[in-house]
Structure 1
Amino acid sequence: MEDVSYTKGIYTAVAMTRTMDSGLYQGVVSLERDDGEELENSVYEVEGTSGTPEEALEEAKALAHRILGELEL
């Protein structure tokens, strides 16, 4: 499954999925700054798990939108 990238100002959020040991899937978002400055927390996990990678990616995309929406430029 392909990762999905969103950009707001100097920030890029990449939504992706990972397979858990239980066989379920979890959405993950990686947040980066384009100016090279380090972030305190650059990886965010969706709280729950999903039965399919598609569901997990949708949850990760929603999380990426929330994260970027909360950023002040």
Structure 2
Amino acid sequence: MEDVTYTKGIYTAVATVRDADGGQYQGLVSLARDDGEAPENSVYEVDTLSGTPEEALEEAKALAHRILGELEL
């Protein structure tokens, strides 16, 4: 499954999916900040597990939008 990338100013969020226990999937968002100095990276996990990778990716995309929406530039 393809990762989805979003940017806002100096921030880049990448939504992705990983396998979880019991045949379920979890969405993840990797947030990178590149302001010309040492890049800062954070990883956020979707709180719930999903039954399909498509559902997990949709949850990760929603989380990425929330994270980027809260950022002050």
2: distance between equivalents of 1:38 and 1:14? 14
Higher helix proportion: 2
Matches of 1:13 and 1:38 in 2, distance apart?
Answer: 12
Alignment TM-score, normalising by the size of structure 1: 0.92
Aligned residue runs from structure 1 range 44-63, under 5 A: 44-63=44-63
Instruction: Report the number of matched residues.
Output: 71
Q: How does 1:17-36 map to 2 (within 5 A)?
A: 17-35=17-35, 36=38
Native 8 Å contact 2:4 2:15 kept in 1: yes
* CA distance in 1: counterparts of 2:29 and 2:40, whole angstroms: 16
Worse-superposed segment, 26-35 or 2-11: 26-35
CA distance in 2, matches of 1:59, 1:38: 23
Gaps of 5+ in 2: none
1:11 positional shift: 0.1
Q: TM-score, normalised by structure 2?
A: 0.92
1: CA distance, partners of 2:14 / 2:50 = 18
Letter in 1 for 2:16: M
Aligned-residue identity in percent? 79
Gaps of 5+ in 1: none
Note the C-alpha offset of 1:34: 2.1
